[in-house]
A and B are shown apart, each in its own frame.
Chain A
Amino acid sequence: MPKTKARTARRSAGRSSRPRTRRTTLTLPEDLLRQVERLALQRHQTVSAAIATLIEAPLRQLEARDRNGNVWDLLHKSIEGLTEEEQMLIDGIVMEKPGTDSA
């Protein structure tokens, strides 16, 4: 294995419990940034860690909402425009003419 790759592998193995991070530049409204800095100070965190904590939960919720909403819509689409009898059949209610009951 080439030297550089081995070093990368060792480094990532040692930090396996920590999520990978990436540097970026954000432009935030000044007052918002001040609030985040205050919060980070109170929590003994870096500003990056404070921002990550703040956005993680809402992002997860947003993802769940998109996924769930899609499932409801697809489910609704699968019975939309059907007659009452057809919908009953799809719900598992099989109607027959009386006298054909075999039980």
Chain B
Amino acid sequence: MHATEATWRDAYAQSFPLCVSVMAVLERMRGHLLAELHAEPSRRTLMEQKTREYLRSVGSAGTNVLGFTTRAAVVSAQLMALLPTAPSPPQRSHRMAESRQDRLSRWRFDIMIAATALVNGLPLIHNNPQDFEPLRGLIERMPERFPGVGPLNLISVKRLAA
């Protein structure tokens, strides 16, 4: 972790409560379990330990996990209808690529996480400006589509670490 990010993180934690969307927990747990399944035998024990550590962080007394409500579902549906495809392309490396299906599923998770922040009136701390900025822009352009919610306040960890 970048030093600037860590400093900011500690200062933020001293002043504000932190919450996690239940959709972020779902996405992250899916990732941990996939990492266990795909791990080389020599890395499997480590990956299992990482899953346990994540579960401990989610289950600890300080973690306020925000549920996915009907209101969040309605806001998500609106966002998914207006921005059906992810703003950024699937991830690619020289020999591997993310499938369109996985990219879409990740995009929908991001929308549900943003909707949870929106309906709870909380800023969203993220490291993915390519995807969250278009959501913020859309809500600003079409506020009539999102009555009673917004604007979407974003805190980019990438920008802080730059």
- A89 in complex: contacting residue of B1, B15, B31, B105, CB < 8 Å: B31
- B contact residues around A65 at 8 Å (CB): 13-14
Q: Which of B43-51, B67-75, B133-141, B142-150 contacts A (4 or more CB under 8 A)?
A: B43-51
A-B contact pairs, 7 of them (CB 8 A): A67-B60, A69-B13, A92-B109, A93-B102, A94-B99, A95-B93, A98-B97
The tally of CB-CB contacts under 8 A between chains A and B is 111
How many chain B residues sit at the interface, stated as a range, is 35 or more
Whether B28 sits at the interface, judged by CB under 8 Å, is yes
Q: Are A93 and B106 in contact (CB under 8 A)?
A: yes
- Could you say which interface size class chain A belongs to? 20 to 34
Closest residue of chain B to A79 (Cβ to Cβ) is B50
Contact status A100-B99, CB under 8 Å: yes
Tell me if B31 and A92 are in contact (CB < 8 A): yes
Q: Is the CB of B97 within 8 A of A95?
A: yes
Interface residues of A in 56-82 (CB under 8 A from B): 61, 64-72, 74-79, 81-82
Known interface pairs A65-B13, A92-B31, A93-B106; A70-B60 also in contact (CB < 8 Å): yes
